Amino acid sequence: MHKYIVRSLFSVALTLPALVLAAETEADRWNLQDLYATSADWDNDAIKLQMQLKEISGCNGHLAESVQRFKVCMDLNATILKRYARLASYASQTHDQDTGATAGLDLNQRSDILGNKLEEATSFFRPEILSMGASKIKTYLNKDKSLALYAHPLDDILRGASHTLDKKGEDLVATFGLATNTASAVYSTLSNSDMPWPKVKLSTGQEVIIDQAAYTKYRSSNNRQDRKLVFDAFWGKWKEFERSYGVTFYEMLKKDAVYAKVRNYPDSLTQALDGNKLPRAVYDMLITQTQANLPTLHRYFKLRARMLGVQDMGYQDIYPPLVRSERKFSITEGTALMLASVKPLGDDYVKAMTKATTERWMDVYPRPKKRSGAYMNGVAYDVHPYLLLNHNDDYESVSTLAHEWGHAMHSYLANKNQPFITADYPIFTAEIASTTNEVFLLDHMLKIAQSDDERLLYLGSALENLRGTFFRQAMFADFERTVHAQVDKGESLTGDALTKIYGDILKRYHGDKDGIVKINDLYTIEWAFIPHFYNRFYVFQYATSIAAGSMFADEILKGKPGAKDNYLNILKAGGSQYPYELVKAAGVDMASAAPYQAVFARMNRIMDQIEAIQAKRH
C-alpha cells in the first residue's frame, strides 16, 4: 500500500548550477504556508501522525474480522499516508530552499524517521491482506461499495502474493529500512561534500575549482581547449576514487540482488519492473530499438561536428550549444510562452494552468544554498503541487519551466479526479506529461520564430534534449541491465570492471570505433558520477516517457480524433491503473517498436529542418 507514500521528486538537470542571482520578490518564492502556517503547526501534525500510528496498531490482526472493521482500517491507513505526504513535502522543501539551514535539515531528518515509523507500524497490511485472499477481498468490495476506491491498490497487493513475506518477515524487512541506504548516503556525501575538487586555469587566465556545478558550466565553453582541460581535470579526479566508488556501487548492487532473492524474484530488474507491473518487454524493447537506431544518434553527432567546425569530434564536444544566443527570457515571458504553447490541450487545461501560475506554487530563482536543478512535488493532496526552479533567463529555463509545469498539471488533474489513495502516479507516466509539454513548446516557438537563427536555437535545444533524455538515458539503462545481471548471478564487480563495462557501452553508443565521437579512456569513469544509478532501474523511464510523449503530442498537434482526450485521461487517472496498461489503452504500446520509432522520426525531422536552413546559407 505504501509504494507511493511520497513519490520521488521529478527532476531534471540535478547538477544544473545556480548561475544567476536575480532580484527576487515575494511572488517569486513558493508559499509553504499553504502547507503549514508555522513549523509549530508541522510539529502538531507530526504528533497527530504518531497518535494515528498507535491507533492503527489496533488493526493488526483484525482486518478480516468484518467488512466494517476492514473499512475503518483502510480509511485510517489512507489518512495516515495523506498526512505523512504533507509533512514530508513541507520538510523536504523547507530544506531545499536553504540547504545550509540547520532547522530545515533537522526537519527533513525528523520526516525520514517518521516515514520509517510509518512503514514499521503498517507493515502488517500486506501479509494480512494476502492471508485474507482474493475471494474474501472481493466479497468485502461487493458488500461495501465505498471500498471501490481501494480496488486497484488491493489488487496490487494480491498479485504480489508470491513476493510477500509473512508478518515476521515483513516486520524484519521494514526494520532494516534505516540500514540499507548506506551506499547512496556514502555516494552523496563523497560526491557532494568531500571530493577534493581540482583547480584549473582557463584560457582567459581565470582560475576555477572544477566541482560539479563548475563542470556543468564550463563543459559547454566556446573554447575547445578549455573544454578538454575541464574534462581531464574533472574525470581525472573521479578516476582517483574509482576504487571507492566501485565498492560503494557494488554494495548497492548486492543489496538489490539480495532483496530480489528475499522477495522471490529471478533477478533485480524483474523485481523493479514488477512494482508497477511493467512487462520486461518494455525495458528490452527500449534498448533493442535504441541499439538498432544508433545511426540516428550518429547523424546528430556528425551534424554537431559540422556546426561546431570540429573535425575530430571528442566526448568533450557534446555539450556546447549548437546555437548560442544572448536572447533573454524572463519568468514572465517564459510563462506566457508556455501558456500559449499548451492551447492544443483545450481551454480547461489552459485556464487551470493560467490561474495556477499566479498562486506562488514556484520557487523561481537560484540563490546561495538553494538546491540546484528543478523538480515538481505534487503529493500534498489537499494543497497543490510545488515547483522548484533555478530560472536563468535563457531558453533552457523556458523548456524546464514547461517540463515541470507538465508534471504540476498532471498532479493537479490527478488530485482533482482521484481520491488520495489513487491520485499519486508512478514515474512511468509522470515523465510523459512533462515531455509532451516540451514538444508543444517547441512547436509553438517554431511557429512564432522571427528568423532562421531563432529557429536554429529552438531546434538545436530540442535536438540536444532528445540526445540527453532519450539516447543517454537508454544508454544508462543498458549499463544498469548489464551490471545488475552480473551481480544477480553472484559475480564480483570492481571499480575497474565497472569502468570497462561502461566504457564499452559508451564507445558503442557514440560510434568511437568509426571515429564519430572519440572517447578518451579517462572519461569512461563517468558511471561513478551518475546519481540515478543509486535508484535502480529509474532512468529508463525518461526514455520511454519521451517516446510516448512524442507520439501523443504528434497525434494531438495533427488533430487526430480522440487524441487529446486519450492523453488527458492518462493525467486524470493518476495511479488508479497500472501505467503500462493505462498508456496502452490510450493508444501507445510501450512494448512495441512504434513509440521508439516516433522518437527517431522526430529527431530526424528536426535534423532535416536544421540542414535545410544550413543549405540556404551555403
In this structure, what are the phi and psi dihedrals at residue 164, rounded to the nearest 5 degrees?
-110, 135
Residues 372, 23, 394, 325: what is their CA dihedral angle, to the nearest 10 degrees? Answer: -130
User: Using CA atoms, how far apart are residues 76 and 508, in angstroms rounded to an integer?
Assistant: 53
Contact 466, 399 (CB under 8 A): no
Contact 470, 439 (CB under 8 A): no
Task: Supply 342's cell numbers.
Answer: 499548451
CB count within 10 Å of CB 179 equals 7
- Any long-range contacts for 257-266 (C-beta under 8 Å, 24+ apart)? 257/484, 257/487, 257/488, 260/488, 262/165, 262/173, 263/163, 263/164, 263/165, 264/162, 264/163, 265/163
454 is catalytic: no
Q: Which of 404, 438, 464, 526 is catalytic?
A: 404
In this structure, what are the phi and psi dihedrals at residue 7, rounded to the nearest 5 degrees?
-60, 145
- Any long-range contacts for 323-328 (C-beta under 8 Å, 24+ apart)? 323/453, 323/456, 323/457, 323/460, 324/222, 325/394, 325/395, 325/453, 325/454, 325/457, 327/394, 327/395, 327/454, 327/457, 328/393, 328/394
Q: How many residues does the chain have?
A: 618
281: Cα separation from own chain's centroid: 21
Active site residues: 404
